[in-house]
């Protein structure tokens, strides 16, 4: 075995993790805390790949080696110019191949104690997939269920402020989960990047303490939640959160105010509901939008779309909801932390009540 290679289990021994893949590969996902020092640009990697497929592996290697050598020289003069003599970096590429090997060899020639990650990013990704299957089952979850606008996300944040452990899936996915849930001026992460962040949060929890999580469908926007998490959510305790309808409308008007800044996009989203509600109903909603009758629009969406969707989901998937802890929440109030503390008291060992099945809500339920 190459003495410069180390397994993933030793990653914590190093001063810094260096990802030498292209910026696009790094953007899709990378090891936590890694810096990107690509030895090939996005365009150069395409050139080398094309030469490999259309000319010959030899020609691809020759041209690629020249590119890599120039780039490593530039990194040594810039990116790593201030690293101390006793610096110990761990270097990786896609499969632990020539890109990371080249950087590692040059670093060791200089005198740094660099090592190459055996198996590269693919080894790291295999470890993430394994943890996706196992970590959720080790947690004691308490699931927050409830109608759209009941303030489950605000309650989750208030619980965190009150010292509880919380898993904010929508924050990790950068999406509120519903048809209108895309965050303004923010892109969702890649699936792999979400998985990395998700595992990082799970590993930060104390397994001896409960973790509050909001009910979600399997998909949040374009992100797919691991089946192990969905299974854990269906078989644990739950809290059914309710709020007065006027406050629900107030909450939606506040949280979704950005939709009115781009009415064309808003109209397009509403039109996607025609197969479910019919053209006549959706045209009524579009008329409310055109007139600027925001409150009436959200009230119509709650009563005709979101609440019926939640009821359908409840009948199919919330068989144990009758055993849930009922909790009335006022999401627009000033005392959110106090309300969260009241819920913590209800869900403490002294106030516990079982729940046969936690909700796996429809993506239209928030």
CB-hemisphere CA count at 13 Å for 177?
24
Retrieve residue 315's tokens. Answer: 């009948």
Q: For 171-193, write each residue's pLDDT tens digit.
A: 999 999 888 889 988 999 999 99
- Ranges of CATH 3.40.50 domains, the chain: 134-347
Between 223 and 323, the higher pLDDT residue: 223
Would the pLDDT of 349 be above 60? yes
CATH T-level fold of 5-129: Oxidized Rhodanese; domain 1 (3.40.250)
Whether 93 sits among the annotated catalytic residues: the reply is yes
Give the residue-averaged pLDDT of 148-168: 97
What pLDDT score was predicted for residue 177? 85
Angle CA 334–339–341, to nearest 5? 130
What pLDDT score was predicted for residue 350? 62
Burial of 39 by CB count in 10 Å (0-12 exposed, 13-18 middle, 19+ buried)? buried
Q: For 3-29, write each residue's pLDDT tens digit.
A: 899 999 999 999 999 999 999 999 999
Kindly report the pTM of this predicted structure. 0.90
Q: For 52-100, write each residue's pLDDT tens digit.
A: 999 999 999 999 999 999 999 999 999 999 999 999 999 999 999 999 9
Of the pLDDT bands very low, low, confident and very high (cuts 50, 70, 90), residue 312 is confident
Q: Residue 212: which of 137, 143, 138 has the closest Cα?
A: 143
The CATH number of the structural domain formed by 134-347 is 3.40.50
Residue 128 to residues 50, 90, 132, 270, 311, Cα–Cα distance (Å): 31, 18, 6, 37, 35
Burial of 113 by CB count in 10 Å (0-12 exposed, 13-18 middle, 19+ buried)? middle
What pLDDT score was predicted for residue 146? 93
Q: For 256-301, write each residue's pLDDT tens digit.
A: 999 999 999 999 999 999 999 999 999 999 999 999 999 999 999 9
Total length of the chain: 366
Looking at 93, 114, 117, 135, which residue is catalytic? 93
Burial 233-259 (b: 16+ CB within 10 A, else e): bbebbbbbbebeeebbbbbbbebbeeb
Of the pLDDT bands very low, low, confident and very high (cuts 50, 70, 90), residue 247 is very high
Q: For 211-223, write each residue's pLDDT tens digit.
A: 999 999 899 999 9
């Amino acid at each position: 075995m190459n003495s410069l290679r180390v397994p993933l289990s030793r990653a914590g021994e190093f001063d810094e993790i260096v990802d030498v893949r292209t910026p696009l590969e790094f953007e899709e996902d990378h090891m936590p805390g890694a810096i990107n020092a690509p030895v090939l640009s996005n365009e150069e990697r395409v050139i080398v790949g094309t030469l490999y497929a259309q000319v010959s592996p030899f020609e691809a290697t020759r041209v690629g080696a020249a590119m890599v050598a120039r780039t490593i020289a530039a990194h040594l003069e810039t990116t790593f110019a201030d690293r101390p003599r006793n610096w110990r970096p761990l270097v990786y590429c896609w499969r632990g191949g020539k890109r990371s090997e080249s950087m590692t060899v040059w670093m060791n020639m200089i005198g740094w104690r660099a090592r190459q990650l055996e198996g590269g990013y693919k080894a790291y990704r295999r470890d993430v997939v394994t943890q996706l299957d196992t970590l959720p089952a080790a947690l004691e979850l308490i699931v927050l269920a409830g109608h759209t606008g009941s303030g489950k996300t605000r309650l989750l944040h208030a619980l965190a402020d009150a010292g509880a452990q919380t898993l904010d899936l929508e924050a990790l996915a950068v999406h509120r989960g519903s048809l209108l849930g895309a965050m303004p001026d923010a892109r969702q992460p890649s699936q792999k990047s979400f998985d990395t962040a998700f595992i990082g949060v799970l590993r930060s929890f104390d397994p001896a303490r409960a973790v509050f999580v909001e009910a979600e469908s399997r998909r949040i926007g374009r992100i797919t939640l691991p089946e192990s998490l969905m299974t854990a959510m269906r078989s644990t305790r739950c809290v059914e959160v309710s709020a007065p309808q006027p406050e629900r409308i107030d909450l939606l008007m506040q949280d979704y105010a950005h939709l009115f800044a781009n009415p064309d996009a808003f109209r397009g989203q509403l039109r996607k509901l025609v197969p479910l509600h019919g053209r006549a109903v959706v045209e009524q909603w579009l008329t409310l939008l055109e007139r600027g009758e925001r409150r009436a629009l959200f009230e119509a969406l709650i009563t005709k779309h979101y609440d019926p969707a939640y009821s359908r989901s409840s009948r199919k998937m919330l068989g144990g909801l009758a055993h849930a802890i009922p909790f009335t929440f006022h999401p627009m109030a000033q005392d959110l932390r106090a309300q969260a503390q009241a819920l913590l008291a209800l869900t403490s060992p002294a106030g516990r009540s079982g729940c046969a099945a936690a909700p796996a809500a429809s993506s239209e339920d928030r």
